[in-house]
């Protein structure tokens, strides 16, 4: 069986496409995270508040 972990497995064009796709994915994840953070803060559950309600909301728990 061939070792497919070496750097020369992909062409330069394939590596560029892969890296570009990973950058796009990372950007999407970061935006979703910021949107989620913003919606939590607008509900009064910001990280700085330290309230029990905010912690329960962030962890997905409810009373």
Spatial contact of 15 and 27, defined as CB atoms under 8 Å apart:
no
HSE of 45, CA atoms in CB hemisphere, 13 A: 15
- In the prediction, which pLDDT does 39 show? 87
pLDDT, residue 63, reads: 46
Give domain limits for the chain: 1-43
Q: Is the pTM of this model over 0.75?
A: no
pLDDT digit string, tens, across residues 2-59: 556 656 789 999 999 999 999 999 999 999 999 998 888 887 754 455 555 555 555 6
């Amino acid at each position: 069986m061939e070792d497919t972990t070496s750097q020369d497995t992909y062409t330069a064009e394939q590596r560029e496409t892969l890296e570009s796709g990973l950058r796009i994915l990372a950007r999407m994840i970061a935006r979703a995270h910021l949107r989620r953070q913003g919606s939590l803060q607008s509900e009064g559950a910001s990280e700085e508040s330290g309230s029990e309600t905010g912690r329960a909301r962030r962890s997905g728990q409810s009373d």
